[in-house]
Structure 1
Amino acid sequence: MTAAIASRRTVAALTLVCTAALTLAGCGDQTDSDSAAKGKSNDAPLFSALPKKIQDAGVIKVGTDAAYAPMEFTEGGKIVGVDPDIAEALGKQLGVKFEFTSGSFDGLITSLDTGRQDVAMSSVNDTKQRQEGKDDKGAKIGKGVDFVDYFSSGVSLLVKKGNPQNIKSLDDLCGKTVAVQRGTLSEDTFKAQAVKCGPDKLTIQAFDTDVEAQTRVKAGGAVADLNDFPVAAYIAKTSGGGNDFEVVGSQSDIGLFGIAVSKENVQLRDALKQALDAIIKDGSYAKVLEKWNVEDGAVKQAQLNAGQ
């Protein structure tokens, strides 16, 4: 935002100089330069597929929760990870910039309903409930969204290093306390397991961020967190130099991550699908996954609303 403001101020200053000096040709050159800069993206293969509003802005506004490494996290004040890198590759096809803004995960879909963001890209599981704008009980909570599915992942249990409670599966959690990020599919999985546990109660502690859930497990206040596999593996490898956590059991609930788009924004949705197919074909998609060691999550082609 600061860079954008500085740029506008520079243009304004140049305009004033031109006006004061009556150097109309110079002002004309500046306007032409601005137009050319904005028009560069016209050369991108799929720029014309975008809605005019996006073309004019030159930006796709992305809502994310940047606390889910390696998918999206903050490093040196910048949002980085698998999703931002995939978005950058998509941007080269579309000729626009993907501008990520971090917020709470459970508010991402709502941000599309209000128009605050154009898309949500934050390891969001494509589910029928989210497509229909419903919660896990079937109650209507929004307009619903479409998904452009770009990654496949299951969920894995993350426990304290050494696995002191000998957790091997979800069934081993009955009678214990777990921690999880609020509003995620992982929370839904724990809720389903709580029903299965019956009187041998499973206590679920939900937090705004997954970092808080991890802290709870590390402190011993909960026996496990549940995360998408690449996230769990990354946390186990990096937290405390690999000495804080470990991943146990096998993946479950394998599903698809999707870029969420308002159902009213069909043109943007379709442009994103075309761009995803393009980066899969040209190999840039595979390079991103290889960079972050998440090749197992690759999809062979873009799909719309393929989640269950």
Structure 2
Amino acid sequence: MRSFRPALLLMALVSSLFMAACGSSSTASVPAGCTPPTGVDTTKLSLVSAGKLTVATDASYPPQENKDPATSSIIGLEPDLVKEFAKRLCLTPNIQDAKFDSILTGITAATPGNQNYDMSLSAFTITSARLKQVDMIPYFTAGESLLVASGNPKNIKSKNDLCGLAVAVEAGTVEEAEIKLVEGSSTPPVLNGAGGACVKNPVKLQSLGTQDQVIQALQNGSVDATYQDSPVSGYYNKKAGGNFVEITTVSPAPEGIVVRKDNTPFESAIKAVLKAMQSDGTYDSILKTWGLSNGTCTLDSACATGAPTA
């Protein structure tokens, strides 16, 4: 028969709790020979994991972030920026692939140091709705555009031409919130909502889990158009040999690094590192590597001080 030993069980429980508490320390130990930026105390950053910079990204949004088919490692503009942030803060980068519409909750949940991620770089457009939940540090600008099949068979020229058509977007994006009313994200009127251009003939919206699925829907004829950020449209059109038609709908707007509102030491450290990267040319070099120099947005420029898009 199985024996039950309360004393041993209690000792094991206490021991496991003690070890868990030690293992979940959120202070960062600085590697030998590495000096954080002046004024940054890495022991006060309330990190998810000691010594690591844990960052969420939806790795299906190239060229900003996607998985390398050969290695499955996450590559792109934003992973390269994350690695530079970690290097300068004397931390190890811990980039985690996450569903886009789950990232904000993963950052804001629980108390500082007990959330899922320290921050996110994942092409988050800065909007008034998002700023109610998190702080966002401007670092890039991107417009929005539609992709349609070769020859543009539906003669789509603007968003208002999407009425009655099948359109795919990635769930949780601003593009989704421009078509249907999304609580906490949309700013009315939206295309399918009251006062919207398509309220009488709604867009047949497909909100999909990843951008790869969005593009696949266009390739297999399931939808008439896809709607996403312009750099992403350009990437997939080039990958398809120029067989899509790209239709610009929205001028470039700032995107932001997502951080908690209640972790000032961490946010200040990220801003300090970003400013240093922009001052010494590292930031420009990373954007150039990914062909995204036209998305430059420095902390002291107009794009960083402008109003959110919605």
Q: TM-score range by the shorter chain?
A: 0.7 to 0.9
Q: TM-score, normalised by structure 2?
A: 0.77
Counterpart in the other structure of 1:44: 36
Partner of 1:155, secondary structure, is strand
Are 1:162 and 1:246, in contact at CA under 8 Å, matched by a contact in 2? yes
Partner of 1:222, secondary structure, is coil
Counterpart in the other structure of 1:201: 202
**Alpha-carbon deviations, 1:223-278, whole Å to 9, x = none?**
11111111110111013xx1542312x24053211111111111111111111111
- Which of 90, 113, 136 does residue 108 from structure 2 map onto? 113
Cα distance between partner residues in 2 of 1:292 and 1:49: 32
Where in structure 2 are there 5+ consecutive unaligned residues? 1-28, 110-114, 181-189
Partner of 1:60, secondary structure, is strand
Counterpart in the other structure of 2:259: 261
**Alpha-carbon deviations, 1:48-93, whole Å to 9, x = none?**
3442544982211001110000000000210000001112222333
Counterpart in the other structure of 2:227: 226
Are 2:80 and 2:286, in contact at CA under 8 Å, matched by a contact in 1? yes
**Alpha-carbon deviations, 1:205-231, whole Å to 9, x = none?**
111112111111111121111111111
Are 2:37 and 2:88, in contact at CA under 8 Å, matched by a contact in 1? yes
Are 1:159 and 1:246, in contact at CA under 8 Å, matched by a contact in 2? yes
Partner of 2:197, secondary structure, is helix
Counterpart in the other structure of 1:146: 135
Cα distance between partner residues in 2 of 1:175 and 1:119: 38
Which piece of structure 1 moves more, 202-211 or 56-65? 56-65
Is the alpha carbon distance of 1:231 and 1:265 closer, same or farther for their aligned partners in structure 2, counting shifts above 3 Å? same
* Matched letter for residue 237 of structure 1: K
Counterpart in the other structure of 2:88: 93
Which piece of structure 1 moves more, 204-213 or 86-95? 86-95
Is the alpha carbon distance of 1:104 and 1:151 closer, same or farther for their aligned partners in structure 2, counting shifts above 3 Å? same
Is the alpha carbon distance of 1:280 and 1:290 closer, same or farther for their aligned partners in structure 2, counting shifts above 3 Å? same
Are 1:155 and 1:229, in contact at CA under 8 Å, matched by a contact in 2? yes
- Which of 295, 298, 301 does residue 300 from structure 1 map onto? 298
- Which of 262, 278, 281 does residue 279 from structure 2 map onto? 281
* Matched letter for residue 126 of structure 1: I
Query: What do you get for the CA RMSD once the two structures are aligned?
Result: 2.4
Is the alpha carbon distance of 1:56 and 1:163 closer, same or farther for their aligned partners in structure 2, counting shifts above 3 Å? closer
Cα distance between partner residues in 1 of 2:207 and 2:87: 38
Are 1:148 and 1:305, in contact at CA under 8 Å, matched by a contact in 2? no
1:42-81 map, 5 Å: 43-46=35-38, 48-50=40-42, 51-54=44-47, 57-75=50-68, 76-81=71-76
Q: Percent identity?
A: 30
Cα distance between partner residues in 2 of 1:227 and 1:198: 21
Counterpart in the other structure of 2:21: none
Counterpart in the other structure of 1:190: 179
Are 2:47 and 2:118, in contact at CA under 8 Å, matched by a contact in 1? no
* Matched letter for residue 59 of structure 2: A
Partner of 2:33, secondary structure, is helix
Cα distance between partner residues in 1 of 2:41 and 2:160: 48
Q: TM-score, normalised by structure 1?
A: 0.78
Superposition deviation, residue 96 in structure 1 = 1.8
Are 1:71 and 1:122, in contact at CA under 8 Å, matched by a contact in 2? yes
Partner of 2:291, secondary structure, is coil
Cα distance between partner residues in 2 of 1:53 and 1:101: 18
